[in-house]
Structure 1
Amino acid sequence: MKPKPSMVVLRSLLFAFDIENTKSEEREKIIVSKDVNDDRELAELFDLLLKPDFLVYRPDERQWFVDTILYYLEVGENFDEVFTRVDTYFNDEVKDQRRFMKVLLDRLKCYQLEDDGV
């Protein structure tokens, strides 16, 4: 049975950037050094900090993240529920939350392909 889309799962995915996730000062510096409103810099940020965590998940869990983002993009979700509940180290407010999630989706798909050896 395929799990239903959930905003909670998206918030957990973005925990890598949350203030409550105090792993290291170096990680915090990386986060604040990137412009989260620039697609290229946002992709670099995901590659540096999110990719290693994402690849730890089982393939079915990874697909759940991808399917969840796809579902909410398709239904026109603005992702306020995610961004108002995650307090990040980002220097700037995310101006276009849907664009942010599209960049995230693209990177997650790339990670899956890389891990599958494609």
Structure 2
Amino acid sequence: MKFSPSLSITRSLLFTYCIENIDDVEREAFIVSKNINDDKELSELFDKLTKPVFLSYKIDERQWHIDTLQHFLKVNDSFDSVFYLFDTYFDDEIVDQRQFMRILLGCLIRYHAEDMQNESKN
């Protein structure tokens, strides 16, 4: 089943980083320790906190996230709707929201490919 691109699902995927998600002091400290405007540190953050959530989704839901980010990057969306009124644990403001989403997309594609490869081995 193919779903229409929707930035609301991206916002829900990023809920891990939202101040409203207040149940883990260690997670909060890890988030604050990363420079979210550094591609490498942002990837490390996604690897630790977003990857497990993303891999818990069904395959078609994962593809929906990937397709959504690809679509909105292609149409030059600013991603303001994702970050508007979205208070996070990030220590800094996101300087380039599109670059943030490009890094997220690259990570999601990598997680999905790795998981599919592992599944084919089993």
For normalisation by structure 1, the TM-score amounts to 0.97
Q: What letter matches 1:57 in structure 2?
A: Y
In the TM superposition, what are the counterparts of 1:55-70 in structure 2 within 5 Å?
55-70=55-70
2:30 match: secondary structure: helix
Greater CA deviation, 33-42 or 3-12? 3-12
Which residue number corresponds to residue 99 of structure 1? 99
Which residue number corresponds to residue 76 of structure 2? 76
Seq. identity, %: 54
In the TM superposition, what are the counterparts of 1:1-118 in structure 2 within 5 Å?
1-117=1-117
1:35 match: secondary structure: coil
Per-residue CA deviations over 1:51-91 (Å, capped at 9, x if unaligned) read: 00100000000000000000000000000110113211000
Q: When the two structures are aligned, how many residues end up with a matched partner?
A: 118
- Indicate conservation of the 8 Å contact 1:18/1:87, yes or no: yes
For normalisation by structure 2, the TM-score amounts to 0.94
- Indicate conservation of the 8 Å contact 1:18/1:89, yes or no: yes
User: Over the residues paired in the alignment, what is the CA RMSD in angstroms?
Assistant: 1.0
- Which residues of structure 1 form unaligned runs of 5+? none
2:8 match: secondary structure: helix
Name segments (4+ residues, structure 1) moved above 3 Å: none
- Indicate conservation of the 8 Å contact 1:14/1:86, yes or no: no
Structure having the higher Rg: 2
- Indicate conservation of the 8 Å contact 1:39/1:103, yes or no: yes
